[in-house]
Structure 1
Amino acid sequence: MTGIAIPERLKSIVTQRQADVDKAKAKRSMGSLTGAIGEMAMTRGFSNALLAHFFEKGKVGVIADIFGASPLSKISRTRFDVMALSEDFRDAGATCVSASPDRRLFRGSIADLATAKAANLPILTYDIVVDQYQILEARYAGADAVLLMTNVLGDKLGEYIARAQSVGLDSLVEVRNEVEIEAALAAGAELVGVNNRDVETLEADLTVCERLIPMIPADRAIAVAVGGLASPEDIERMARAGAKAVRIGSALMAAKEPYEELHRLLGTTPPDDD
């Protein structure tokens, strides 16, 4: 794809992630995973949950991220309980949650995807996907959707979306500019996350979403605003820009009390304890 290249900050991460995947393949083959997935129950419908929330409530749905660290943010949290957080985020009003299978980059584990299902919400696997094996692994572990980065996958994006769809996973396809939006739509993306955060500087600029989301045809894809959302006003800005959902991670995982922080962001009040 002309104009799309892996950002410098991600190149070494992509190489390392591929090495990790190669080790996992040596322990369990893609064929074995595919066979096991064929016996599993259907996924929960990640995109449909976001769309249903938007039309039923008239407000953007929230994808609440659960992670201890990320190469795409400045957050570092050494202790966190995935089950408790997923339930807290559900109770505070999240429509979906995400968890990471990667220990090295995100301080997560593949078991976190199954653990997060305690909330009975659709689960996004928060990972830097470089190999189709990760899609199968995420599905087997309990995910309902997979994050695919346009600037990482390039010409392979369409194949990865198709592979995810073949095992019942929705794809949240992340973009950062006009060229990537065009590529994502051409590849068949139906859920497009526009990231306000510059992967090189880690700084967020909400005008990125305000500029790019109107370029996503509402009849072709659901627009999701990602990155730098830290107030109810920020979420409202994204809604005005045309987002039907927002994905929030840093603000929640940096907070002392993530449950209360999500309530604050949504403009709601936690119920009083009896």
Structure 2
Amino acid sequence: MHSKIEQIIQKSKERADALSEINTQTRCNDRRDIFESIGLVCKRGHIPVIAEVKPASPTGKFADVNPEIASQIACDMENAGAVALSVLTEPCYFEGCIENLESARKHTSIPVLRKDFIVDTSQMHEANSDVILLIAGVLGNRLPEFIEIARRRNIEPLVEVHNKKELAYVLECDAILIGINNRSFETLEINLETAEKLIPLVKEHDRKYNQKHLIIGESGVKSTDDAARMIKAGADALLVGTYLMEGDLKEKMKKLIEANNKQEIV
């Protein structure tokens, strides 16, 4: 695991240790259905895009984002055609916060994903979201427990994998929504071939065991060609952050969701 990822995980553990007592009985009773949302867009022949409210990354800053700005960005993303929103809540390296998540969800009507490095069960009760990111390479054999907690809270877990070993383990867990991250946790380099190699393994598993997983392609979509490539590989939806946070959001979103109509996709 890359030293930068280890640093982020350590900071997440420190944040979890500092959490005050949280009501673990709360449920997200008004969960917005990401499966339904993705399905509706697919029926229109468009690419489902989960747009990310991303203030910064370890490599740079995109925008000064507070709760008010987060809600405006979220509304702009929804109006531009996003099927769901991803909101960063990691504060140390991505400059996110729970308040941005809550504000974005309050002012929109599409599903909202909490994107963070979840390392402790206490973090599972910090905020209501419709979906929560659980990273297989971070949680290891604790993953089933975190999936169960999410389900008890009526929150859908998006379980993220980076390689064949993690994927094989996740396919044995009670996960329906699988995110394939094209960014390596070892080198931090992005390679779209990661999804192209792993997606067929999910499809093969589903055919063999008569199951159905929904696959989200994560990281590395920087153009309509990249978007079309991921859909051609078998991704059901794409999570896009950096590309949308830089430049004309409305125009970029329009091109992404319509990339499925390109000639090369047959």
Measured against the shorter chain, the TM-score band is 0.7 to 0.9
Contact 2:48 / 2:257 at 8 angstroms: preserved in 1?
Answer: no
The whole-number CA distance in structure 2 between the counterparts of 1:207 and 1:249 is: 19
Counterpart in the other structure of 2:223: 231
The whole-number CA distance in structure 2 between the counterparts of 1:101 and 1:132 is: 16
The reply on whether 1:194 has 2:180 as its aligned counterpart is yes
The reply on whether 1:68 has 2:58 as its aligned counterpart is no
The whole-number CA distance in structure 2 between the counterparts of 1:156 and 1:59 is: 36
Matches within 5 A, 1:1-274: 6-24=1-19, 27=20, 29-30=21-22, 33-35=23-25, 37-38=26-27, 41-54=29-42, 56-71=43-58, 74-80=59-65, 81-117=69-105, 118-139=107-128, 143-217=129-203, 218=206, 219-253=211-245, 255-267=246-258
Task: After superposition, give the CA deviation of every residue in 1:9-62 in whole Å (9 maximum; x if it has no partner).
Answer: 3222212111111112xx3x23xx223x24x532112233223432x2233311
Counterpart in the other structure of 2:262: none
Q: Structure 1 residues 171, 47: CA separation in 2 closer, same or farther (over 3 Å shift)?
A: farther
The whole-number CA distance in structure 2 between the counterparts of 1:222 and 1:182 is: 15
Task: After superposition, give the CA deviation of every residue in 1:111-167 in whole Å (9 maximum; x if it has no partner).
Answer: 11111121211000010010112121132xxx1110011100000111111110110
The whole-number CA distance in structure 2 between the counterparts of 1:82 and 1:221 is: 30
Once superposed, which parts of structure 1, at least 4 consecutive aligned residues long, lie more than 4 Å away? none
The whole-number CA distance in structure 1 between the counterparts of 2:72 and 2:11 is: 30
**Cα distance, 1:187 vs. partner?**
1.6
Counterpart in the other structure of 2:263: none
Contact 1:7 / 1:151 at 8 angstroms: preserved in 2?
Answer: no
Gaps of 5+ in 2: 260-266
Q: Which amino acid aligns with 2:49?
A: V
Gaps of 5+ in 1: 1-5, 269-274
Identity of aligned residues (%): 30
**Cα distance, 1:176 vs. partner?**
1.0
> Secondary structure of the residue that 1:197 maps to in structure 2?
coil
- TM-score of the two chains, using structure 1 as the length reference: 0.84
> Secondary structure of the residue that 1:147 maps to in structure 2?
strand
- TM-score of the two chains, using structure 2 as the length reference: 0.87
Contact 1:196 / 1:209 at 8 angstroms: preserved in 2?
Answer: yes
> Secondary structure of the residue that 1:225 maps to in structure 2?
strand
Counterpart in the other structure of 1:271: none
